[in-house]
Copies of this chain bind each other. A is one copy, B any other.
Amino acid sequence: MKKIDTTSIVVDPFNTDFCQRWTWTMLGKTLLNAAENHAKARGFGMMDLNGRHYTWVLSRLTIEMQSMPTAYHNVNVSTWIENIYRLFTNRNFAIKDEDGTVYGYARSIWAMIDYETRQPMQLEQIEGEQFQAYLLPEEPCPIAAQGRVRALTDADYVKSHHAKYSDIDMNSHVNSIKYIEHIMDLFSIDDYKEGRNLHRLEISYMAESRYGDLLSFFKRKVSDNKYEVEVRKDFIPGGDRGTPIVRASLEFS
């Protein structure tokens, strides 16, 4: 079996924003679905693992878009495994139009955890796995690796909400991409006006959250086009500082 899979998708008009750009929510979910379908076809999708009491957990995601496809355009999303390490694996993505013109790239880092203990598995030692057969380190993914987002202070607090039904995905946790939607909603619609785009998003998933958890959002402006965001669980203004669960940086163009 080949090492890279390409999924074709049309940007449906109701999956676009007020400038008819594909939403980052749909882009993000398309990446996760492409990853899952690639893994599933090779015997190590979520469902295959669930039967063996493991599951994949997304640890980091970096998406850098040169431009965002608009309504009715075709998008080809390719995904492949760059490498595998003791506790992590890197999976990359290329997002192109039907002629091969690049919209953007993405990098992701995943761990496999034991469903009960939530402890990471040693990926190189899992019996019967075929990961090694599918590594494709030579495939180019010409965007910088993820940087480090600093902890934010209580002074950067913006707002809180309890995780809702629509936040929760098949793993019974707040969906990785829903965090991105909430983070993007910390910005005004003027930050997305015609000609201004979210260019690069880096996000680190540090801990899981579940239905009903109190999620608090912190935001700091680094420069005119760059922001850092932190999401904490169980933050109480003036009280408990809470647990950081997500850190992100956003760069607009």
A166 B15 Cβ-Cβ under 8 A: no
Given contacts A165-B187, A165-B192, A170-B71, contact A175 B14 (CB under 8 A): yes
Contact of A18 among B37, B47, B172, B189 (CB under 8 A): B172
Given contacts A13-B46, A14-B32, A14-B36, contact A189 B177 (CB under 8 A): no
Contact of A13 among B168, B170, B184, B211 (CB under 8 A): B170
Q: Closest residue of chain B to A21, judged by CB? A: B170
Interface residues on A, range: 35 or more
A165 to chain B minimum Cβ distance, whole angstroms, is 5
CA distance A191 to B20 in the complex (A): 34
When distances are taken between beta carbons in the complex, the residues of chain B under 8 Å from A185 are 164-166
Is A119's CB within 8 Å of the partner chain B?
no
CA distance A172 to B37 in the complex (A): 33
Is A25's CB within 8 Å of the partner chain B?
yes
When distances are taken between beta carbons in the complex, the residues of chain B under 8 Å from A37 are 12
When distances are taken between beta carbons in the complex, the residues of chain B under 8 Å from A192 are 165
Given contacts A12-B29, A32-B14, contact A181 B169 (CB under 8 A): no
B169 A17 Cβ-Cβ under 8 A: yes
When distances are taken between beta carbons in the complex, the residues of chain B under 8 Å from A177 are 14
| CB within 8 Å of B: which A146-185 residues | 164-166, 168-172, 175, 177, 181, 184-185
5 A-B contacts (beta carbon < 8 Å): A12-B33, A12-B37, A16-B170, A18-B172, A166-B185
